[in-house]
Amino acid sequence: MALTLSACSGSGSDSNGNAPSAATTKPPAPQKRWQPRPGLDWQWQLDGKLDLSVDVPVYDVDGFETSEADVTRLHRAGRRVICYLNVGAWENFRPDKNAFPKSVLGAPNGWDGERWLDIRRRSVLRPIMERRMDMCRAKGFDAVEPDLMEGYAGKTGFPLTASDQLAYNRMIADLAHARGLAVGLKNDLPQIPRLVRRFDFAVNEECAQFDECKALRPFIAAGKAVFHVEYAVPNGEFCADSRRLKLSSMRKKLELGVWRRPC
């Protein structure tokens, strides 16, 4: 998808044509990073034509497929917008697919067209992920949802360790923060105690189905939102616990289209 950015014109001179002096020129004030709080309602749509009409304060949408214009429209409607990126697997349908050397591509991860990445190769993956985060920032996103942050627990084709994952996840958080973007920890429940300070919120799938939602309490205790979905469990079986834990919960269909059933 082509990304069209507007540029500011002008020489920066004053009305007499003189360049401003260092004493009178001030750098732009740094923007405060967004910090989503527990209990915020949200929409998560990664498939189909983006529906901008859902009345929630937070949208989580695909970073490549969502246009700068759509991010702007959501902002005008008072929404915060999260940029979904896959940081743990290569996808054969992304425009930057050829930037990944074959040496970092591992086993298929179960999703069509995807293969696990060798996250030990941080020096190789870092510039690719930097460019992706630059894209999110250029489009105006407020935050990043980096997906597949727990490859060490799967059959990737590489001997990944928990330490490898910690180092990679911290790198991803640092890349987002360097660009003024909030960043969420996606799943990776066992490493929450060591990562909660580094991340601004959490995104979780199916903690109710696997009786794991209590593991997310460190985020809530730190005043950080937990955006949570279930696919198979009916709302009546998890929403009461979600409200008690202050999770931002809803049920979605696995393809993550428009349909949602919030708690």
- The mean of the pLDDT values for the chain is 90
Is 31 domain-assigned? no
Is 216 domain-assigned? yes
Residue 4 has pLDDT above 50, yes or no: no
Is 30 domain-assigned? no
| Mean pLDDT across 105-134 | 97
**pLDDT score recorded for residue 19:** 35
Confidence of residue 200 (pLDDT cuts 50, 70, 90): very high
Residue 151 has pLDDT above 90, yes or no: yes
Confidence of residue 13 (pLDDT cuts 50, 70, 90): very low
DSSP three-state, residue 61? strand
| Mean pLDDT across 52-60 | 97
Is 168 domain-assigned? yes
Is 70 domain-assigned? yes
Domain span holding position 124: 42-262
For the whole model, what pTM was predicted? Answer: 0.88
Number of structural domains the chain divides into? 1
- CATH number of the domain to which 112 belongs: 3.20.20.70
User: Concatenated DSSP letters for 76-111?
Assistant: HTT-EEEEEEE-SEEETTSTTGGGS-GGGEEEE-SS
Is 15 domain-assigned? no
Is 24 domain-assigned? no
**pLDDT score recorded for residue 56:** 98
Using the CB atoms, write b or e for 136-171: b if 16+ within 10 Å.
bbebebbbbbbbbbbbbebebebebeeebbbebbeb
- Whose tokens are 């999110």? That residue is 136
**pLDDT score recorded for residue 32:** 87
| Mean pLDDT across 88-113 | 97
Confidence of residue 11 (pLDDT cuts 50, 70, 90): very low
Is 16 domain-assigned? no
**pLDDT score recorded for residue 58:** 98
| Mean pLDDT across 83-111 | 97
**pLDDT score recorded for residue 31:** 62
97 touches 75 (CB < 8 A): no
